[in-house]
Amino acid sequence: MVNIVLAAYTVLLFVLFFYSLHAFVLIFYYYKFRNHRAGPVKKLIRHPRVTVQLPIYNEKYVVHRLLKSVVELDYPKHRIEIQVLDDSDDETSDILARLVAEYRSRRINIRHIRRGSRAGYKAGALQHGLKYAAGEYIAIFDADFVPKPNFLKELLPEFNSPDVAGVQSRWSHLNHDASLLTRAQAIGLDNHFAMEQRLRHLAGFFINFNGTCGIWRGDAIADAGGWHGDTLAEDLDLSYRVQLRGWKIKFRDDYAVLGELPDSAEGFKIQQNRWAKGTIQVARKLLPQVLTARTGKIAKYEAFVHLTCHMNFVALLGLALLSPVIVYFKIENIVANGYFVFASLFTVGAFGYPYLYFLSQRELYTDYWRRIPFIFSVIAYSMGLSVSNSVAVVEGWLNRKIVFRRTPKSGGEAGGYRPDTKSIIPFMEILLGIYMFLALVYVVVNVQLILIPFLLFYSFGFLSLGLMSLKGKVLALEPQEVLCSRESS
């Protein structure tokens, strides 16, 4: 039995180490391109026809804000149309009907499109909207984002080359300082955009449209076969299919659009689960084509990590289950010390992503030092996600029935979320949190100090996500002024 546990633990260490090496690859490219700066903002010479698509499902708390920002886009009114793609089955539809009627009375070119079903979910709504779209370019905004008036004039000039399929902007955050949870989410997303997306773009690797706050060339969507509803990551799926067809996607790291972060633990987990399951589904669907594509080996490696990275959560869950047992083996001298010396070598990988998080904060914010302490919450919550995301990963590989669960958004209003008391996952997280806490007490009593941070992060991550999921609340911080970034966002 001891040998079986050691073998399983070693495999898990290798899996985590493989994916952690990706952080060091990104760090290499960060220093390679550290002096690269975006060129001067191009001016829009002509005003092509643009269709703005707003896919909406039960978003009664935020649709007012969304429509107000979109109708205020600074663009010739006769060259823009707005499609409200409404799949809602609650009072959101009535709210939208009133808002659209009001804006139409002001001579805004806006349509309220209902298709009578949710077939294909978001992908189905977007594809349905294309049937009626008159625009050469398609801008897309999810309900929780607030584009600035100059969005189209800033991004459309990036289509100066005929092989550009799409342009993606960076996300910034309306409510990053609302709680410890939103702080952690903000840092994680900042790393994705300021490090991963930016460096993939500069290195010529596959990058992805993030589902919102970007613009597509209509011809590129059609050339790749349109939107597909066979995965929960329709944005990632289309991005890879477009690039496999020879198109390029540009990323604007210097231009950000404000969006709302999930303000509840369950909302956060729903979002992360959907991304995890959808990404694995895209890997299952497209990875063979990516690995045989005419591109470099480094690009293929990066794409493999990109599409399979959520396997990390399965490994993290396995470590959570086995680590207290391994600690017991060490303290009771059941296993020779040589194994633990060997296992300690893998801890090198643990420093890559925290350093990337630090770099992303330093790149984006003048007062980045105030944000650095919250990096530890990113690590803890990532560990805490390992239960729910592991379920999503398994379902993704098995290609289980696709059910799109929207991320609850409150728009800052109370009552925007109700916890799902029927789910067993929060109870599993609480039990694992107690399990890790007992292991923490065990190592403290036996003065194994080097293991304390590892077990503390696990215990906090599991317990906080589990308890907050049941209560539907977050760990609130004291109200603070919105922190300033280097660019207005």
Q: Which two tokens stand for residue 189?
A: 């997303």
Q: Which two tokens stand for residue 305?
A: 């990590």
For residues 362 and 190, give the distance between their C-alpha atoms in angstroms, rounded to a whole number.
10
Residue among 95, 94, 128, 98 at smallest CA distance from 113 = 128
420 as an active site residue: the answer is: no
Q: What are 85's strand-pairing partners? A: 55, 113
Residue among 393, 398, 402, 417 at smallest CA distance from 118 = 402
- The amino acid occupying position 163 is D
Is residue 23 within 8 Å of 355, Cβ to Cβ? Answer: yes
Choosing from 86, 87, 237, 253, which is the catalytic residue? 87
Is residue 19 within 8 Å of 309, Cβ to Cβ? Answer: yes
Q: Which two tokens stand for residue 299?
A: 């690009």
Q: Which two tokens stand for residue 431?
A: 């039990």
Angle among Cα 18, 24, 26 to the nearest 5 degrees reads 110
Choosing from 142, 235, 253, 263, which is the catalytic residue? 235
| 3-class state of residue 179 by DSSP | strand
For residues 378 and 381, give the distance between their C-alpha atoms in angstroms, rounded to a whole number.
5
Q: What are phi and psi of 329, to 5 degrees?
A: -60, -40
Length of the chain: 489
For residues 346 and 340, give the distance between their C-alpha atoms in angstroms, rounded to a whole number.
10
94 as an active site residue: the answer is: no
Catalytic residues: 87, 235
